[in-house]
Amino acid sequence: MARWEPGARYRLGTAALELFAERGFEQTTVTDIAARAGVTERTFYRHFGDKREVLFDGGGEFQDYLAQAVSERAAAGDPPLAAVATACTLASRDIFADRLEFARKRAAVIAAHPELLERELGKMAKIARALTDRLRAAGVDENRARLAAETGVAAFRVAFARWVAPDNASPLADLLEETLGDLRTITAETARDLSVP
């Protein structure tokens, strides 16, 4: 078995997704993942607490990226939802542009396991809370900050689901732009409906 080398984390993540796709999540063990990656189990546990964590690796960095971008856009004077939408658009280009196959495999594994789906939804809720906090720090009131953060994250999730669909060939950034356009249309229609006595 190989000793720890730089890049072991990446190899472990790649090996885990390959095995989850081949054998199923439940049937894949940490021993299997370490062997496929060419490292020891001890190396696996240096990087991850368990095999579920492999699927959620990078979530903290994604949250930090979005939070920083929201802070910058809010400081530049963007309205709350525009700040969140811009942050999500930047992330779709900077983080996800070349990760479609990885994201597609990951999404399939998560969708097939309710406990993983629950964790994924929890991760997205945590991101929305972090963005709410950044908007609040920029002077946006609680309700508007929360509504903007939750709405922006929901739009990202809808675009992401379209992106990882098996028949999709469009970039995430384009799908997010379409989804945000749909959101603007729905908001305008709702505004008209609510103004009618």
- pLDDT single digits (tens) 151-166: 999 999 999 999 999 9
Please check whether residues 104 and 76 belong to one and the same domain: yes
What does the pLDDT look like over 48-73, one tens digit per residue? Answer: 999 999 999 888 899 999 999 999 99
Q: Which of 121, 132, 197 is nearest to 160 (CA)?
A: 121
Q: Does the residue 2 lie in any domain? A: no
Note down the domain range covering 14.
8-55
The rounded percent of the chain whose pLDDT value lies above 90 is 84
Please check whether residues 88 and 127 belong to one and the same domain: yes
CATH number, domain of 43, equals: 1.10.10.60
Please check whether residues 98 and 147 belong to one and the same domain: yes
Domain final position from 55, 73, 93? 55
Q: Does the residue 104 lie in any domain? A: yes
Tokens standing for residue 146: 């929360």
Tell me the Ramachandran region of residue 57: left when phi exceeds 0, alpha when psi lies from -120 to 50, beta otherwise.
beta
Domain count, the chain: 2
Q: Are 103 and 164 in contact (CB under 8 A)?
A: yes
pTM score of the predicted model:
0.87
Please check whether residues 45 and 71 belong to one and the same domain: no
Please check whether residues 107 and 164 belong to one and the same domain: yes
CATH number, domain of 150, equals: 1.10.357.10
Please check whether residues 115 and 64 belong to one and the same domain: yes
pLDDT computed for residue 58 by the predictor:
84
Domain final position from 39, 55, 71? 55
Domain final position from 55, 74, 91? 55
What does the pLDDT look like over 126-181, one tens digit per residue? Answer: 999 999 999 999 999 999 999 999 999 999 999 999 999 999 999 999 999 999 99
